[in-house]
Amino acid sequence: MAARRVPPRPGGCGRVAAAGARGSRRERTAFLLLLFLVLTPLRSRSAGRPLLPVPTGLPGDPDPEEAVSDDSSLHGGRVRGFPHERGNWATHVYLPYIAQEEFLELLELLVSRARTYVPSLAAMEEFHLSLSQCVVLRYHWIQPFVRSLRERLAAFHRFFCVADQVKVYTNQNKTRTFIGLEVSAGHFQLLELVSEVDSVLEEFDLPTFYKDPSFHISLAWCVGDLSGRLEGQCLRELQDIVDGFEESAFLLRIQWEQIRCKSGNKYFSFPLR
């Protein structure tokens, strides 16, 4: 008896073959996609995407510095004495003076009179007597510099000086002019302080203070070298105001109680004994 041929059932080997073909296509597509990703340069894949921010606070990173702008129009036309560079901190050692109400009254009289000669004159908002030039410290020098200052200034006591002589000053590059009150008594103690500060500056190979300093408290300033307008008759009138001010003898005899160092946006205080 001849064997009867049985036709394949629907969904049998034909279905398995079709499924195998589809699986093979998916694998081939996945392989081609993977090959494309491997061969495509990283730059072209990331184009158009925002860059991730650089991490901060890593070991050795400086603290955030105060906002820096070299646009002189943003700060009254003042010009930097040296260009800003990341990691460089402008540093200054000084004696701070906290103005009393009577001092501000005297200041108003002086500035009002001086503006008849130089209308652009602006009153200072804070007052101090400098013990150093403005120098540049690298960030990693700040703490050693402050530590050395603290050690050298620890033995100094509080003292008085008298600042009652009106004088006109310009900065080194003649970009600003100042009216100040020059010290007429207490010069010796100030020179002693400067000597110690200079020793610290020399340790860090930084410029020391001026050879023959005119210690003073700046009262007002203007842009440019306008000293010619303020000296002579204007200066005499300003000195008459100081001499005739009712409280000037008491007011301009100043007791210094602390020294400060400003480095970038950091302040350090050294109390006098």
Residue numbers annotated as active site: 128, 216
In whole angstroms, how far apart are CA 147 and each of 32, 150, 190, 233, 273? 65, 5, 21, 47, 17
Q: In the structure encoding, which two tokens stand for residue 119, read together?
A: 């209308």
Q: What is the CA radius of gyration of the chain?
A: 36
Q: In the structure encoding, which two tokens stand for residue 127, read together?
A: 């007052």
Helix/strand/coil (H/E/C) assignment for every residue in the chain: CCCCCCCCCCCCHHHHHHHHHHHHHHHHHHHHHHHHHHHCCHHHHHCCCCCCCCCCCCCCCCCCCCCCCCCHHHHCCCCCCCCCCCCEEEEEEEEEECCCHHHHHHHHHHHHHHCCCCCCCEECCCEEEECCCCEEEEHHHHHHHHHHHHHHHCCCCCEEEEEEEEEEEECCCCCEEEEEEEEEECHHHHHHHHHHHHHHHHHCCCCCCCCCCCCEEEEEEEECCCHHHHCCHHHHHHHHHHHHCCCHHHHCEEEECEEEEEECCEEEEEECC
In whole angstroms, how far apart are CA 186 and each of 126, 130, 193, 236? 21, 14, 11, 23
